Amino acid sequence: MGKILEGKAVAVLIDTTYIPKEIKRYEEFFTACGARVDFLSLLWGEDKRTIVSTVGSPDDKIESMVVDKDVADYNPDDYAIVLVAANYVACRLREIPPMGSFGGIEELRYPPAVKFFIGAMRNKKIVKGALCHALWLLTPAPELLKGRKVICHTVVLADIHNAGATYVPKAVVTDDDLVTGRASGNVNEYTEALVAAYETINQLKQKEK
């Protein structure tokens, strides 16, 4: 696809339980397209945090990575593509600081990562990506899912249906500025669809000028 994302940035929301092969794909693919890739998470007041992968068989080596960008400090409008990593990352990102605290319903509904993704969803010029369980991060704002065509892991399908989204049984589904994927095994097709969606939106922007 060449350097279609030259000078642009991609935000990947990530946390413990990430899938290493998926993250490697994001680093390599989007960098090859010319983009800077930022990994954003919750740092819980620290300057950086080590997160770990805990998926796979008992014989798999547990990998780790250091994240030093707190999602609360960043603006989704600064990114061409915003995506949420697969597996239980969305569950982790639904936590509120400080971890384990009780808060009011608004605080519980809209922790920093949810606010960030909601902000991205409201900007039609940003391509949004959600793989596997990732759409669960958006269910606190069901109005943003209503009527959207999506695919997701079956674990969160009932929640997505209740939010008003339309389930499409395909590996990857593109609905304008929203690209969703069934599982991490579909990450290659999914990332290609994200860049294709960006290209389409960018072409429309150029025509509007």
Q: Residue 187: inside a domain, yes or no?
A: yes
Average pLDDT (93-108) is 75
Which tens digits make up the pLDDT trace of 190-202?
A: 999 999 999 999 8
Task: Give how many domains the chain has, as a whole number.
Answer: 1
Which tens digits make up the pLDDT trace of 34-79?
A: 999 999 999 999 999 999 998 767 777 899 999 999 999 999 999 9
Cβ neighbors of 49 (< 8 A, separation 6 or more) are 41, 42, 43, 66, 67, 68
Q: Is the pLDDT of residue 1 over 70?
A: no
pLDDT of residue 99: 67
Q: Residue 89: inside a domain, yes or no?
A: yes
pLDDT of residue 102: 74
pLDDT of residue 30: 98
pLDDT of residue 152: 97
Cβ neighbors of 184 (< 8 A, separation 6 or more) are 19, 21, 22, 86, 87, 131, 132
Q: Is the pLDDT of residue 98 over 70?
A: no
Confirm if 152 and 180 have CB atoms less than 8 A apart.
yes
Q: Residue 19: inside a domain, yes or no?
A: yes
Q: Give the percent of the chain with pLDDT over 70.
A: 96
Q: Residue 45: inside a domain, yes or no?
A: yes
Q: CATH code at 36? A: 3.40.50.880
Cis ω for the linkage preceding 98 (within 30 of 0): yes
Which tens digits make up the pLDDT trace of 18-27?
A: 999 999 999 9
Confirm if 129 and 136 have CB atoms less than 8 A apart.
no
Which tens digits make up the pLDDT trace of 111-169?
A: 999 999 999 999 999 999 999 999 999 999 999 999 999 999 999 999 999 999 999 99
pLDDT of residue 209: 64
Q: Residue 120: inside a domain, yes or no?
A: yes
Q: Residue 2: inside a domain, yes or no?
A: no
Average pLDDT (93-115) is 80
Q: Residue 3: inside a domain, yes or no?
A: no
Residue span of the structural domain in which 22 resides: 9-208
Q: Residue 1: inside a domain, yes or no?
A: no
pTM of the model: 0.94
